[in-house]
Structure 1
Amino acid sequence: MALSASKIAIIAGVAFVAWTVAATGLVLLPKALAPAPVQVADAGNDAAFGARIKDYLVTNPEIMLEVQDALEKKYRDAQAQKASAALKDNKTALFQSEHDIALGNPEGDVTIVEFFDYNCGYCRKALADMDTIIASDKNVRFVLKEWPILGPDSEATHVVSDAFRKIAPEKYGAFHRTLMGSPNRATEESALETAESLGVSEAAIRAMMVAKPATQAFAEANQLALSLGFTGTPAYVVGDQPLGGAVGSKALGEMVANIRGCGKTTC
């Protein structure tokens, strides 16, 4: 089983702290639980030294949990700082990109950005969340950011979608809801059929695909998603808060209310 970067860091950190504890007698446990300091002579024999480390950790396993918790918190804090910097440095690309379209109120006072893939099952379930937000709050601007990450069918579908948006932006909401609301896998063929059902011909779509390729739009979305620490879809940005996963309309609505109330997603 492959280990994530954070877990590798945790294991390395635990090993280092274990060595430090065994070598110096440093106590990290609460005072009531702390054992007497360990007196360790020069490491000398590596096998003997390793055995002493093992004995200490087996005798005091609580220290492993404490170290793991501390390292995980440090990792989360570092990721949060990285995402915060990415939000600050990419506001225009996130909220006002020429490659995106906004549903709901284009002049709304709060913007929600959703990164999605037409073949993401959770994105399909989250379609209802978007519609609930838009229907219940007439002052929300809902930006859809196309991020095709689920294989060739997804990429081909999004290429058609990008061309459709450029040709008929006023119909993009209907196009998006039709494809995302389908129980079938989205493909280039199904996207073209949806476009034609809304009055945009396959010939027009293919001409736009050549004239104005989707390459730059997808590259921008990918760069933004990775800089924010997203690993899948759906993913959101609400105010100053990046959110991974289908968090639901209730949570999104509460964040919108908080932004209006105190300027942050959490008051």
Structure 2
Amino acid sequence: MKYILPFLLLAIPAGALELSPEQRNAFGAELRSYLLEHPEVVREALRQAETHRYTREAQNDLARLNENAGALFDSPQDWAEGRGDVTLVAFVDYACASCADMPAVARAMATRDTALRIVMKDYAPGPETGAARLAQAILHVDGPDAYLKAQRALFALPDHTPTTLRALAHRISTAPQAVLTHMEAPETHATIARTARLARTLDLGPAPVWVLPDALVRGDVPPIALTRAIDRTRSR
């Protein structure tokens, strides 16, 4: 009770106490003295405020995930593997060095967990979308195996200039001209733009980001953290 009382008093409007200016000054001095003698009161209040903030953020994340589930988990333009009871979505940004391991991590997790479905979205949060469009074009023209090979190659490139991307298309694709044409097609631009809008709607922030039906996992986290998040999703 001693921890709660000072904050209950602070929550009461000044006029409701009907104190004179002198009494209010004395009360304020006593309260400041109390808080200086009991700093744990402030720490506990801050801890509770932080807990409430995290709870609100998690609730907001879940609401946005539910509203955008179709675009997240069932877009026909995305690479997907598996038919499990839980779907894990990877937002892969080829300009993000920390994203380089995401495709390999995702596939390794699906190999270990046969009840896991993996979706990879080609994500370009900035104005430079060439790498994401090339990945999409190779997926469309050459199929999933070439797409995974292209992902590895895109992360290994020194840059993503048009010249470098054209050279990669000729190196990987069996139909490089078709890839380059599809790369510039309106539907490819639209796919990448939709993914970027979806990321903004979900407030994902910078990659790497992993998405589950009931949780967002932001940042460069180890595979064990993803495994635990998947286990929590299954247990709910």
Matched, 1:69 2:69: no
Higher helix share: 2
For the pair 1:169 / 2:143, whether they are aligned, the reply is yes
Q: Are 1:179 and 2:157 counterparts?
A: no
Distance 1:47 1:118, change over 3 A: farther
Report how far residue 174 of structure 1 moved.
1.7
Q: Which amino acid aligns with 1:117?
A: D
TM-score normalised by L of structure 2 = 0.76
Cα 1:41–1:86, aligned 2, differ >3 Å: closer, same or farther? same
Whether contact under 8 Å (1:228, 1:242) holds in the other structure is no
Q: Give the 3-state SS of the residue equivalent to 1:221 in structure 2.
A: helix
Structure 1 residue 76: deviation in Å?
Answer: 1.0
Aligned with residue 120 of structure 2, among 134, 144, 168: 144
After superposition, where does 1:77-96 map in structure 2 within 5 Å?
A: 77-96=55-74
Distance in 1 separating the partners of 2:140 and 2:21: 69
SS in 2 for 1:237: strand
Quote the Cα distance in structure 1 between the aligned partners of 2:215 and 2:55: 14
Take 2:21 and 2:201, find their aligned partners in 1: how far apart are those partners? 43
For these two proteins, the number of residue pairs brought into alignment is 228
Extract unaligned runs of 5+ from structure 1: 1-16, 25-38
Q: How far apart are the structure 1 equivalents of 2:188 and 2:6?
A: 51
- Are 2:207 and 1:233 aligned? yes
* Percent of pairs with identical residues: 26
Structure with bigger RCO (C-alpha 8 Å, 6+ apart): 2
For 1:94, the aligned partner's letter is L
Tell me which residue corresponds to 2:78: 100
Residues 134 and 165 of structure 2 are in contact (CA less than 8 Å); yes or no, is this contact kept in structure 1?
yes
Separation in structure 2 between the aligned mates of residue 234 and residue 63 of structure 1, nearest angstrom:
38
Whether the 8 Å CA contact 2:210–2:217 is kept in 1: the answer is yes
For the Cα contact (< 8 Å) 2:107–2:118, is it kept in 1?
no
* TM-score when normalising by structure 1: 0.68
**What residue in structure 2 maps to residue 125 of structure 1?**
101
| Aligned residue number for residue 7 of structure 1 | none
Letter in 2 for 1:133: M
Structure 1 residue 68, shift from structure 2 partner: 1.6
Shift, 1:201, TM fit: 5.5
